[in-house]
Amino acid sequence: MTLLIALIAIGLVAVSAWWLAIGRARDLRGKGRLNSLPAYHGVHTLLWALLPALLMLAVWAPIQTTLVNQAVLASAEGKALPAFDMQRDAILDEARQIAAGNIDHGYNPQSEQLAPRFSEAESRYGAIGGGIALLLTFAGAALALRRVVPEFRARAGVERWIQALLVAASLIAILTTLGIVLSLLFESLRFFKLVSPVEFLFGTSWSPQTALRADQAGSSGAFGSVPLFWGTAFIGAIIAMIVAIPLGLMSAIFLTQYSPPRLRAWLKPILEILAGVPTVVYGYFAALTVAPMVRDFGLAIGITSASSESALAAGLVMGIMIIPFVSSMADDSIAAVPQAMRDGSLALGATKAETIKKVLLPAALPGVVGGVLLAVSRAIGETMIVVMAAGLSANLTANPFASVTTVTTQIVQLLTGDQEFDSAKTLAAFALGLALFVITLILNLIGLRVVRKYREAYE
Amino acid sequence: MTLMNEIHAPVPADIDEPPADANRAPKMSARDVSVFYGDKQALNGVSIDIRDDRVTAFIGPSGCGKSTFLRCLNRMNDTIPSARVTGKISLDGQDIYHSNMDVVQLRARVGMVFQKPNPFPKSIYDNVAYGPKIHGLASSKGEMDGIVEKSLKRAGLWDEVKDRLSESGTALSGGQQQRLCIARAIAVDPEVILMDEPCSALDPIATAKIEELIHELRGRYAIAIVTHNMQQAARVSQRTAFFHLGEMVEYGKTSEIFTNPRERRTQDYITGRYG
Ligand SMILES: Nc1ncnc2c1ncn2[C@@H]1O[C@H](COP(=O)(O)OP(=O)(O)OP(=O)(O)O)[C@@H](O)[C@H]1O
Ligand SMILES: [Mg+2]
C-alpha cells in the first residue's frame, strides 16, 4: 500500500518536473540558441527524477522483506513461534497473507496474532523506503532542473541514460543465464555428495527409485546415466538425423536450385511451419500415430520385441521436427556459395545435379555440418516428443524397436509428482540437467564456430 | 532516323568481304538477337558472325549489353530466370536455342571465361580435370594427367604450378587464377571461347600474359572477348564490334574501327568522349 502511494507520488513529481523543465527551456529559447531542444531538457529531467528512485525501490524491496521478517520475529509474538524451520515458515507465511488481506483466517491461531505485527512492520519499512525514493525523486528533479540552461547538452545526457538502459537490458539476459548455470551447479554438487560422479557418468544402470522409508521394499537407487545419454543420442543424434539430414538437405537443394521462384515462395514458409508446430503436438502425433505404426511394422517383419514406445517412433518424429533447422541452414550455406562458382561449373557443360554435387555441396559442407550440430543440440534437449513416445525404461540397446528413455524424459519423471527436495532422486534431475546443458553448450559452440568460419571463407 | 536504319542493317558489310579463307562458314552467327530482362530490353537486334580464324572483340560503355550478348552465345542467360532471348543464334549452322539442342553439350563446345577469376575451391589439378571428368574425355588417370598438363601449358601456367598441383586453386594470385580458369575452359576442348573482360582484375604483367595466350589460341579456337581496354582490343583482335545502349552500332576490321570509324558514336567512344 505504502509502496503504491510512493510510486504515485514519484510519478506525479517526475511529471511536474518534466513539465517545468520544458517550460523553462522554452522561456530560455527567447534569449538565444539552446544547445538542446526543450523536449530533450524535459526528458532529461524526467529520467533523472524517475530512474534513480525506481532503481532504489527495486533494490529496497528484497531488503524490506528481510527487515520485516526480522522485526516480526523480534516481537513478543514472534519469539513465541515454534523453533522448527518449516512450521515457523508456514505460520509466518499465513500471517503475511492475512496482513495483505489475501485470506481472512489462518489455519494456525498464532498467525492471526502475528498479522498485526506484519502490517506494522510493513507500513513502517514501506514508509522508509518510499520516503527515501521520494527524496531521490525530488533531488534528481532539482538537480536536473538547475541544469536547464542554454549551453547544457541535454541531448547527450538523454543519450547516456538510454545507453545505460540498453546495457542493463542485455545484462539481465546474461545474468539470468549465469544464474541458471549457478543454480544447476549448486544442486548438482549436492547430488554428487550423495552419489559419486564416477557412478553417475559411467554407471550403466539407472533406477532412481530410492526407498522412502527404511522398511520399504524397493531398489536402493542406481544412478548410472549412461543408458539415458545413450537413449538421448540414439533418438536425437542418430535416428532423428538419419531422417532430417537427407530430407532437409534435399529440400534445401530443391528450394534453392530447382524450384521456380513462385513455388519457392510457397514452399519455404510451409516448410518453416514445421518449426512452429508446438512440440506437444509432435509428441502426440508420435505417440498416437507413428508409434503404433512402427510397432506393427516391427511385428510384421518378425521383431517380437517391438514395443509400442519405441526409439524409432520418437526419432522419426523428432527428425521431421528438425527438418526445417537443417534445411534452412543448408539453404543459407548453399545460397552463400558465390553465383560465380555455379556459373563456372555450368559454363563447363556440367548439369545442375553435377554442379550441386561437385561444387555447391563441397563448398557448402562446413555450413551444413555446423547446421547439423545445432540441430543435434536442439534434438537432444527436446522433451515433449520423447516424454510421450520414447518410454521410461532405461535400456542400453541398439534395437530401434525397443523402448529407450532419454535424459529429458527422466528429468520430467524425477521432478513431477511429490518430491523431497533433498533426496538423491530429485537432485539427480539437476545433475542430468547440468550434463545436458554442458553437452548442448559444446555442440552449439562448435556448430556456431564452424558456421562462422565458413561464412568468412567467401568474404 | 538514318542512323537507326544503319544500326538495323542485318549484317555489317565487311563480314562478307573476302578474307583469306572466304569459303569457310562462320563458326557462330547471330541474327537479330534481342534480350529482355523481365520487361526491360537489354539488347536490340544484334547480328554478327564469329569466325574461328579470328579474335572478335566487343567494346562499348558499361551496361550496353556486351556481357548479355556473350552469355547468349552459350546460353548462360538460361540461368537468369527473368531473361528472355529472341532471334537466332547458330553454331555450325545449328540453332542453339532450338528445343533439340543439348544445352550441356553446347556449353562444352562453347566455353566461357568470366570477368572475375572463379576457380573452384579444389586443387589446381581438380580444377582443370573438372570438365574432362564430367564429359568423360579421359579413360585413364594417365590420360587425365596428360589433359591437365596440356591445358595448363597452353594457358601458360604449367611452369608456375607444376610442383604444386594439389594445392588449392583459390590460393593462386589473381592472374594465375584467371589463367587457371582459361586452362579449365580449354581442357574441355571447346570450339569457341568466350571471354568476358578476362583482364579487368589483373595487373599489366598478368594482362600481357593473357594477351599472349590469346594470340597463341587464335586459329585453334573461335575467340570472342569483351574488353573495356581499347589498346587491348586493338592488340588482340582482328574484328571489333562496338555496342551502345543495347545495340550493335558498328562492326568491322579492328584496324578500321580504331582508325576510321564510320559512326559518330564509335568515334566518340574510342576517343574517350564517353564511357
Ligand atoms: N540479371 C539481370 N537482370 C536484370 N537486368 C540485367 C541483368 N544483367 C544485366 N542486366 C541489364 O542489362 C543491361 C546490359 O548489361 P550487361 O551486363 O550486358 O552490360 P555490359 O555491357 O556487360 O556492362 P559492363 O561493361 O559494365 O560489364 C544493363 O542495363 C543491365 O542493367
Ligand atoms: Mg559485363
- For residue B14, what pLDDT is reported? 40
User: Could you state, in order of their start, the residue ranges of all structural domains in chain A?
Assistant: 3-152, 222-458
What does the CA dihedral B120, B126, B127, B128 come to, rounded to 10 degrees? Answer: -170
What are the CA-CA distances from residue A259 to residues A47, A266, A270, B103, B129 (Å)?
54, 10, 14, 19, 30
What residues of B are in contact with residue A344 (Cβ under 8 Å)? 114, 118-120, 181, 184
β partners of residue B251: B241
Q: Is the dihedral of CA A274, A279, A284, A286 positive or negative?
A: positive
- For residue A457, what pLDDT is reported? 57
Q: Is the dihedral of CA A74, A78, A83, A87 positive or negative?
A: negative
Q: Which chain A residue has its CA at the smallest distance from B134's CA? A: A350
**Percentage of chain A exceeding pLDDT 90:** 30
Give the pLDDT mean for A383-387: 87
pTM of the model: 0.72
Strand B192-196 versus strand B110-113 pairing type:
parallel
Question: Is pLDDT at A104 greater than 80 in this prediction?
Answer: no
Give the pLDDT mean for A170-196: 91
CA separation for the pair B56, B226 (Å, rounded):
9
Give the pLDDT mean for A159-180: 92
The ligand placed nearest to the CA atom of residue B68 is 1
- For residue B195, what pLDDT is reported? 94
What does the CA dihedral A174, A175, A177, A182 come to, rounded to 10 degrees? Answer: 150
A404 against A422, higher pLDDT: A404
- 3-class secondary structure for chain A? CHHHHHHHHHHHHHHHHHHHHHHHHHHHHCCCCCCCCHHHHHHHHHHHHHHHHHHHHHHHHHHHHHHHHHHHHHCHHHHCCCCCHHHHHHHHHHHHHHHHCCCCCCCCHHHHHHHHHHHHHHHHHHHHHHHHHHHHHHHHHHHHHHCCCCCCCHHHHHHHHHHHHHHHHHHHHHHHHHHHHHHHHHHHHHHHHHCCHHHHHHCCCEECCCCCCCCCCCCCCEECCHHHHHHHHHHHHHHHHHHHHHHHHHHHHHHHHHCCHHHHHHHHHHHHHHHHCCHHHHHHHHHHHHHHHHHHHHHHCCCCCCCCCCHHHHHHHHHHHHHHHHHHHHHHHHHHCCHHHHHHHHHCCCCHHHHHHHHHHHHHHHHHHHHHHHHHHHHHHCCHHHHHHCCCCCCCCCCCCCCCCCHHHHHHHHHCCCCCCCCHHHHHHHHHHHHHHHHHHHHHHHHHHHHHHHHHHCC
Give the pLDDT mean for B125-153: 93
- Ligand 1 neighbour B66 (Cβ under 6 A): yes
CA separation for the pair A253, A248 (Å, rounded):
9
- For residue B21, what pLDDT is reported? 58
Q: What is the ipTM of this complex?
A: 0.85
Chain A CB within 8 Å of residue B96 CB: no
Give the pLDDT mean for B106-113: 93
Asked whether residue B141 is domain-assigned, the answer is no
A340 against A90, higher pLDDT: A340
Question: Is pLDDT at A87 greater than 70 in this prediction?
Answer: yes
- For residue B2, what pLDDT is reported? 40
**What confidence tens digit (pLDDT) does each residue in A343-378 have?**
999 999 999 999 999 998 888 888 888 888 888 988
- Ligand 1 neighbour B116 (Cβ under 6 A): no
Q: Whose CA is nearest to atom 24 of ligand 1?
A: B62
What are the CA-CA distances from residue A353 to residues A254, B1, B78, B123 (Å)?
10, 49, 16, 21
Question: Is pLDDT at B7 greater than 50 in this prediction?
Answer: no
How much is the mean pLDDT over chain A? 86
CB A119 within 8 Å of CB A99:
yes
Question: Is pLDDT at B107 greater than 90 in this prediction?
Answer: yes
**What confidence tens digit (pLDDT) does each residue in B194-210 have?**
999 988 877 888 888 88
CB A274 within 8 Å of CB A324:
yes
Question: Is pLDDT at B86 greater than 60 in this prediction?
Answer: yes
Which range, of A161-175, B4-18, B81-95, B110-124, averages the lowest pLDDT?
Answer: B4-18
CA separation for the pair A223, A205 (Å, rounded):
7
Give the pLDDT mean for B67-71: 94
Q: Do B81 and A261 touch (CB under 8 A)?
A: yes
Q: Do B185 and A347 touch (CB under 8 A)?
A: yes
CA separation for the pair A389, B173 (Å, rounded):
57
- Ligand 1 neighbour B42 (Cβ under 6 A): yes
- For residue A253, what pLDDT is reported? 92
**What confidence tens digit (pLDDT) does each residue in B162-183 have?**
999 999 898 898 889 999 999 9
User: B92 CA to middle of ligand 1, Å?
Assistant: 27
Top residue of A257, A348, A361 to mutate, by most chain B CBs within 10 Å, is A348
- For residue A456, what pLDDT is reported? 59
Give the pLDDT mean for A273-301: 90
How much is the mean pLDDT over chain B? 86
Question: Is pLDDT at B16 greater than 60 in this prediction?
Answer: no
Q: Whose CA is nearest to atom 18 of ligand 1?
A: B65
* Single-letter residue type at A45: T
Nearest alpha carbon to residue B193 among B217, B169, B229: B217
Beta-carbon contacts of B136 under 8 Å, excluding residues fewer than 6 positions away, are none
Question: Is pLDDT at A204 greater than 80 in this prediction?
Answer: yes
β partners of residue B48: B30
pLDDT interval class at B141 (50, 70, 90):
very high
Give the pLDDT mean for A22-45: 86
CA separation for the pair A294, A272 (Å, rounded):
26
CA separation for the pair A102, A118 (Å, rounded):
13
CA separation for the pair A357, A348 (Å, rounded):
15
What does the CA dihedral B204, B230, B117, A453 come to, rounded to 10 degrees? Answer: 80
Which range, of A442-456, B147-161, B235-249, averages the lowest pLDDT?
Answer: A442-456
What residues of A are in contact with residue B76 (Cβ under 8 Å)? 343, 346-347
Determine phi and psi for B29, rounding to 5 degrees. -140, 140
- For residue A170, what pLDDT is reported? 93
Q: Do B114 and A261 touch (CB under 8 A)?
A: no
**What confidence tens digit (pLDDT) does each residue in A369-384 have?**
888 888 898 898 888 8
**What confidence tens digit (pLDDT) does each residue in A133-145 have?**
999 999 999 999 8
Kindly report the CA angle at A126 between A121 and A131, in degrees rounded to 5?
135
- For residue B10, what pLDDT is reported? 36
Q: Which atom of ligand 1 is nearest to the CA of B68?
A: 18
- Ligand 1 neighbour B244 (Cβ under 6 A): no
CA separation for the pair B184, A18 (Å, rounded):
73
Q: What is the CATH number of domain A222-458?
A: 1.10.3720.10
Asked whether residue B143 is domain-assigned, the answer is no
Number of domains chain B is built from: 1
Kindly report the CA angle at B84 between B78 and B86, in degrees rounded to 5?
115
Asked whether residue B163 is domain-assigned, the answer is no
- For residue B6, what pLDDT is reported? 38
Strand A206-207 versus strand B247-253 pairing type:
unpaired
Grid cell, residue B212, equals 599472349
Chain A CB within 8 Å of residue B136 CB: no
Among A344, A349, A362, select the one facing B114 at the smallest CB separation: A344
CB B72 within 8 Å of CB B30:
yes
**What confidence tens digit (pLDDT) does each residue in A214-252 have?**
555 555 678 888 999 999 999 999 999 999 999 999 999
* Single-letter residue type at A157: G
Question: Is pLDDT at A286 greater than 70 in this prediction?
Answer: yes
- For residue A211, what pLDDT is reported? 52
pLDDT interval class at B9 (50, 70, 90):
very low
User: B82 CA to middle of ligand 1, Å?
Assistant: 13
Among B107, B116, B130, select the one facing A340 at the smallest CB separation: B116
Asked whether residue B161 is domain-assigned, the answer is no
CA separation for the pair A430, A163 (Å, rounded):
37
Give the pLDDT mean for A20-46: 86
Which range, of A22-36, A437-451, B43-57, B62-76, averages the lowest pLDDT?
Answer: A22-36
* Single-letter residue type at B179: R
Which residues constitute the domain of residue B264?
3-119+174-270
Chain A CB within 8 Å of residue B118 CB: yes
Q: B residues 147-186 near A, CB within 8 Å?
A: 181, 184-185
- Ligand 1 neighbour B67 (Cβ under 6 A): yes
What does the CA dihedral A103, A105, A106, A112 come to, rounded to 10 degrees? Answer: 110
User: A360 to chain B, minimum CA–CA distance in Å?
Assistant: 10
Asked whether residue B145 is domain-assigned, the answer is no
Question: Is pLDDT at B187 greater than 90 in this prediction?
Answer: yes
